[in-house]
Structure 1
């Protein structure tokens, strides 16, 4: 096998020369530059161009500015919130002071009201005592009036006429006595007059005996007659439709009102008798029942509860 031998090195020749036969001294710089091979690097994958870098920098700058603006706004909002909280605290302090003042005022009003209530209770007690005293005085006056007029009677439902005189009233009394078969002379009548809006005739006789005689005769007459036949205006010669005539003992003050209420109660509850005697009011269910003395409205109310 023949051997391959490397040719001998020629002096002044570079190993990298293209043309080794040309002396090194004869090679120009241009030839050297021409012979240099430029190695072009392949661009790194994903690398950005300058335009993209500038755009990214601009966006980053805008974000930083937005964050800075947002931070400033948040700081302003925080400062405003702190101011509002401080103002609320001040208002709360004022409200607390006001509440304390209100509580003190309420406490003062409470004490004042308690004192006023005690005063009112005292006045009410005094008023109640005074009313009791007034009622007792009125009762005494009524008793004095009642005892001072022991021979008086009241006659209701006798029609009044204009310019009625003492003589006219005396004539009515005499006609009533005639109907009851009780003789009444003008000299037996001490005084007679009308009172109240119902024009009740009050007759004052000369004696209690005559008064009691007239009352007893009236009760007997009504007992012996029934319905329209009881004592009425036609019995004493008055024209028109017959109107019942009621004769009762004279009652002073509140007793007159109580007697009216007793009569109304008797009608509504089928009591057969309701009369007066010596200033007292009596009721009776029927002939067999026991007489009930009516002292006040309480008596009538108690009768209602027992039904």
Structure 2
């Protein structure tokens, strides 16, 4: 594999994608940048001009037409030649130019290359001072370096500049990142503090809710127990009472006589002295046309049971002519008269729900005995005691 071509100015490899020029005399190749040809100018050059193009080195080798043998030698402040014949360049001038414009590294290198190439030839008086690269130094005591030393110095300077620049950029970026991390830590600490407070409050609220739930369950049980006790107490207070439905209301009615007539119609003897109190009870639904219920308080529980048994026996003996208003002497159409135990409001609601459940499930019997409600599916099934709505809901 043939070696890659290098630029005669900067000694770098010529890449295919970078524009270059070839000298028509020495056949050396140069980057267009190394010979001060920009891309716009390069695109305007013709093939013939490119083929006849002469590099700066060959231009310097070409002698002038006029006589310049008497040109005086430049002073010591300019560039010179060492004892070995190598051309040197003032370091002060180069470093100043590098400091002013680091991008001029390639131009300085190219110019140094040209001078070094020229210096390999023996000095000739025919070559004027215009064929060398001008390099002015500051002060008469300026030091001179060779091309290799110059390359090393330039490399060190560039490395130092790059390191300093990179260090400054990295320091600036790290300072910004450090500030952002500090702000993030502050925000995180703030949110963590808020979270801990919320967590603590939630734990307190959870404990409070658990206590309230426990208290609520206890209170519900207590209320349920008290309601049952209250219902039982109300029912005990009504244990000697009976309620009669279906008796028409009259303005000048005598309820005591009506009650004794009911007992007489059922073949039961009930004295006026046995009736402690009798009254009509207010309607649960004021809009209904039914007559108000008559509540009767008898002297004893035995008298209540005797009256209920007499009415039940009469209705069984006369299924087609049960106790009605015609037996009590009321004029008009005959309507049934019902005699039953006087239930408390809660038991009355439970009794109504039990009758509805009976129709839904096809049960045969629902009755009341001593303030308690019973259900039975048929003549051979077990008797069920309905204490409350929970018991009724469990009936299947």
Candidates 297, 304, 324, aligned match of 1:211: 304
Paired with 2:222 and 2:385, the residues of 1 have a C-alpha distance of 28
Contact 2:235 2:343 in 1 (8 A): no
Contact 2:255 2:278 in 1 (8 A): yes
Q: Structure 1's 57 and 121: CA in aligned 2 closer, same or farther, altered over 3 A?
A: closer
1:42-91 CA-partner distances (Å, limit 9, x unpaired): xx69xxxxxxx99849979xxxxxx9xxxxxxxxxx99988985675454
1:153-180 CA-partner distances (Å, limit 9, x unpaired): 111243445xx56x43234324433442
Tell me which of the two structures has the higher relative contact order, counting C-alpha pairs closer than 8 angstroms and 6 or more residues apart: 1
Deviation at 1:287, TM superposition (A): 5.4
Paired with 2:201 and 2:310, the residues of 1 have a C-alpha distance of 70
Unaligned ranges ≥5, structure 1: 1-43, 46-52, 61-66, 68-77
SS of equivalent residue, structure 2 residue 394: helix
Paired with 1:86 and 1:241, the residues of 2 have a C-alpha distance of 104
Partner of 2:347: 255
Partner of 1:181: 267
SS of equivalent residue, structure 1 residue 113: helix
1:145-200 CA-partner distances (Å, limit 9, x unpaired): 24xx42x1111243445xx56x4323432443344233444444221112242432
Partner of 1:192: 278
Q: Structure 1's 216 and 133: CA in aligned 2 closer, same or farther, altered over 3 A?
A: closer
Candidates 239, 242, 253, aligned match of 1:153: 242
Task: Confirm or deny that 1:123 pairs with 2:215.
Answer: yes
Task: Confirm or deny that 1:221 pairs with 2:296.
Answer: no
Q: Structure 1's 213 and 298: CA in aligned 2 closer, same or farther, altered over 3 A?
A: same
SS of equivalent residue, structure 1 residue 193: strand
Q: Structure 1's 113 and 210: CA in aligned 2 closer, same or farther, altered over 3 A?
A: closer
Contact 1:145 1:252 in 2 (8 A): no
Candidates 92, 117, 126, aligned match of 2:184: 92
Contact 1:233 1:245 in 2 (8 A): yes
Contact 1:189 1:205 in 2 (8 A): yes
Task: Confirm or deny that 1:103 pairs with 2:209.
Answer: no
RMSD: 4.6
SS of equivalent residue, structure 1 residue 303: coil
Contact 1:249 1:279 in 2 (8 A): yes
Candidates 186, 189, 201, aligned match of 2:294: 201
Contact 2:231 2:344 in 1 (8 A): no
Paired with 2:336 and 2:171, the residues of 1 have a C-alpha distance of 100
The two structures have a TM-score, normalised by structure 2, of: 0.47
Deviation at 1:220, TM superposition (A): 2.6
Paired with 2:41 and 2:173, the residues of 1 have a C-alpha distance of 32
Q: Structure 1's 59 and 79: CA in aligned 2 closer, same or farther, altered over 3 A?
A: farther
The structure with the greater share of residues assigned to helix is 1
Paired with 1:233 and 1:187, the residues of 2 have a C-alpha distance of 24
Deviation at 1:125, TM superposition (A): 4.8
Q: Structure 1's 270 and 193: CA in aligned 2 closer, same or farther, altered over 3 A?
A: farther
Unaligned ranges ≥5, structure 2: 1-23, 26-34, 43-102, 104-169, 285-291
Count of residues in correspondence between the two structures: 242
Paired with 2:38 and 2:378, the residues of 1 have a C-alpha distance of 125
